[in-house]
Structures are given as structure tokens and as C-alpha cells.
A and B are shown apart, each in its own frame.
Chain A
Amino acid sequence: MSRWDSDFVYAFKRSPVACVSAGVVCLLVLAAVFAPWIAPLNPFDMAALNLMNGFTPPLAPNAFTGETFLLGTDDQGRDLFSAILYGLRVSLFVGFAAVALAMFLGVFLGLLAGYRGGWVDTLIMRMADVQVTFPSILIAMLIYGVAQGLIAPDNRGDLAIGVLILSIGLSEWVQFARTVRGTTLVEKEKEYVQAARLMGLNPLAVMVRHILPNVTTPVLVIATITLALAIIAEATLSFLGVGAPPTEPSLGTLIRIGQDFLFSGEWWILLFPALTLLLLALSVNLLGDWLRDTLNPRLK
């Protein structure tokens, strides 16, 4: 196992694409995690906002207050740099959480389907087939709508982020499930499972111990690719107004706000959140692609 590890590390070091994209992702994650400390201002502290600061272009002192902002301000005088850092936080949080949900749900269902077989398997796989007929973004929107419908209007704002994570997570479990189910079916036929049963051990526990190492690599690849999809899905939903609310905006929400100001010439309100999102999505995508190319041949 350690030789495999060092082969992987070696390949990683040799690929500029992998190193750069991993570096960018790390940088963005760190920026998001430490946002409260890095951000010069808390963009959501109503008291600290000065409307007069509104519409300041980047790096130029404001006409009224003389304050300078790294990336400018929006219509309410919020420092864009801080807003982006906090927005990055929301985007990444939702992204990771959604993938985690999809992964655990998918792995669990895959194990269940593979191990139990029979009608359980058929049911789960049919559900997967039907779900996969539809684009996941549509599924996410539907789940969001239904969840909102089930929550009383007063609570909707607070739970918006949770609902967002739920909808994206539930729309992406299928690939995990299918992969894990495949491996489970293979392992189920092996002799150690029967041996375990004969010895009175719980065959499932034994199988899981054997399945998990086999399944780690493909699950990791799928997770990275799903992360990119989740980030884009979250941004899309927030942009459309059915995601992160303006009170707790993600990069997508910020872009929506920015679009409104294009015509009046305050281009920075759109550009910087957009660039950040693009950078994030691109690096995660590249990393995922590289992972898939590097890890997959070894599986065969």
C-alpha cells in the first residue's frame, strides 16, 4: 500500500496541472475558513455599513468618505472583498456538505442494494434509473421547492442553507451507489463471506472491511467530480434565487446582485465574484479530472 501511495505522490508532484489546481483549491478553502479573521470588514454587520460608501470602484478612494476598498463596494457600501470571502465560505460549505451527504447516502444505499439483493436491490436501482433520467439540477430545484413548501413561511429563511445542502446532496447520490453496489456484488461472491457466516461472524461487517478499501479510490474520484458539480449547482440555484438568500449570500447570490448593476457601469460588483467562482470551479474540475486519469488505470 505504501508503494502505491508514493507512486501517487510522485505522479502528483510531476503534474503541474495537479499541483496548481490543488494549490488553488487549498488557498480558497483556507481563505474561506479564515474569512472572519482575514476579511477587513464584516460585510453583514448592519451597523458598520455606511451607505455613502456605496458604489466605490476598486482601489479608488470613495468620493464622500475617502475610504479605499480592495475590490470596491456594492450598492449598500459593503466591502466586496469581504463579501466574496464570506460568500466563498457559504459556497464551499454547501458544496462539501452536499457531497458528504451524497457520498454517505450513496455508499449506504449501494451497500444495501448489493448486499441484500432481491427486491431491495431492484427498488433502489430503479429509483436510481428514474432519477438519472432527469438532470440533477432539476431534481435539486424540485426538492428545494417541496422542502420550502413543507416548512412554515417564517422559518424558510433560516433553513434555506440546510435545504440547499439537502437538495443538492439528494440529487447526486446515484453514482456513488452504483459504484459501491458493483463492488459489493463482487465481494459477496467471495469465499471469505461464506466463511465468516459459517464462523458466526456478521458477514456484513466483514464485507464492509473488505469493500471499503477497494471502493475508496473510485469514491474519491467521484467525490471530487461531484464537488465541482455541487459547487456549480449551488451557485446556479443561488443565482436563480432559490438557493442562498441575500442575507447569507454565496458567490452565486453575489453574481445575481452584480448582474443588476451591469448597465449602470459598476462592473466590479459582478466581475470579482464571477472570477472567484470560475477559479474555484475550474480548479476543482481540473483536480477531479487529473485524479480520475491517474487513479483509474490502476483499478483495472
Chain B
Amino acid sequence: MSLLSVQGLRVEFPTRRGVLTALDGVSFDLDRGEILGLVGESGAGKSMTGAAIMGLIEPPGHMAGGQITLEGQRIDQHPERYRGSHIGMVFQDPLTSLNPLQRIGDQLMETLKIHHGLDDATAKRRAMQALDEVGIEGKRWDHYPHEFSGGMRQRVVIALALASDPKVLVADEPTTALDVSIQAQILALLKQLCHDRGTGIVLITHDMGVIAQTTDRVAVMYLGRLVELGATDQVIHQATHPYTQGLMASTPTLAGSVDQDLFQIPGAMPRLDAVPAGCAFHPRCDRAMPQCKTHAPEFDGRRACFWSES
């Protein structure tokens, strides 16, 4: 049985101009100790998926269909019971993620006491342990967030998120706000922590480099839908969906020649209130077939496309 299972997730936003579908039939599984990447352009629905898993969708948006199960148990109906204790989340900007007026030691202890009902002394010990695990000196216990550098702050955030031993961690662009050199450190830390504890990670990012370095499997999203899902190596080198192929082709590499033009997928991802009929990607797809205009391809667990290589 997989650790986390998202099936047919559908998120809708009622607006003055009608109902917008931010996520449409998203399904994937996450296993113990696995790192699954969720990649796509801005607005594709990656963060929305993360928020849905946590039950943190901003009203008036709401989950309109599908289900989310953790170790077989449905969690989408009462997300507040599982937040923090079973599923943790890490956000993009470590500076704004931490309460500027609270010392980090206190923030850690608070989380621990709430979820485990520990007394002060035990909580403090566990908190110092947590800080140690992420590579922060214990004596910085009573420092305020602004006294740390960006990378250290993100470590604190990770310590906080993992403080109560969640089984799943949703990381929404955890390294986007950091320097490239720090990025590698943080990703390595995430990998190591999850390997040690068996936590499953859903890593949301728009950066293919991060995906390549860190994830075991990757899911590609477009306009609120999954278009491809598979082992990272395979998706990167042998993508089977035109969009994914376009994404890979447009990533600059050191291998290509300097004179080569940068490839770009023509057009832009449409807005949610202008979703194309049929396959959402067909207007930009150079392999579109007549049926792509009228029928939306089903996601079969690996891809959602009518076209195939063969």
C-alpha cells in the first residue's frame, strides 16, 4: 500500500464569471521514503495540489471531487487532524515563514508540545535535537529568525516541519528563494532526512535541475492536469508527452552548442477561465490530431495523450 494516495483530485473556484477549475482529476501515489517531484509552469496547479493535500486551499476555493488518503485513511475531510502531525509542509520563503517576534527555540517547542504533549524539559531536549539534525548549533536556540541567513532559516523551517515526525512532507519551492550553492545543501539535507526517517516527500518546483538532482519520480502538470508521470530519469531523457518533451528541450544545457537557438514552446499556458476544449495543450502542440481538439485524453497513470512515439 502506498503512503499517500491522491485520486481524482478536483479543486474549484467560484468566481463572478463562473466556476474555475484549478485542478482537474489529479491522481498520483507516493511511497515511503520516496521523493516525488511535481513540476510545471507557474499557474499549472502545483502549489494548489500541495495546498489541497494539506487542506489549506484559500476560500472560496474548495476541493470539489476526488479523495486523498494517507496509509489507507481518508484525510481530506478533516485535514486539521493530520496537519503537522502526519503531513508537514515547507514553503518557499524562509524569512516570511517564521514569526519574526518569536525565538526559533520557542517556535520548535511550541510545535512539539502541541503534537506530543511534552513537558517543557523534554520538549526542549527534542527541539535541540531537531536543530542538531538540520545542522544548526544548539546555542542559537534563543535567536530570532532575522539573525539567521537564508539557508539556515530554511533549515529551521525544515526542522519545524519535521519536528513532529510527519510521514509525508510537502515542499513547495523550498529552494527557489535561496542561492544556488545553498540550494544543493538544502536538497541534500532533505534527501538525507527523508532517507533516515522514511518520510515521503512531494517536491514542488518549476526548476528541472532540482528535479533531476533530487527526485525519484516526477509528475508533470499543465493547466491543472497531470500530463506525464514516471521515473525521473525516464521522463527527462525519454519523455513521451509533447509538453514534457518541449520542457526538456527548452532547458538550456552545457552540452548543446553556443550557436544553437533556445527552444521555446510556442504560445503561453492559457488562463483558467480560457481552458481550451479537448486536450488542454493542443493549441500549442505540434503533434495535435483532430481528436485532440474535441476529446480530453485520460491520464492512464503514466501520461495523458493521444499521440504516441510509435
Direct contact of A and B (CB under 8 A): no
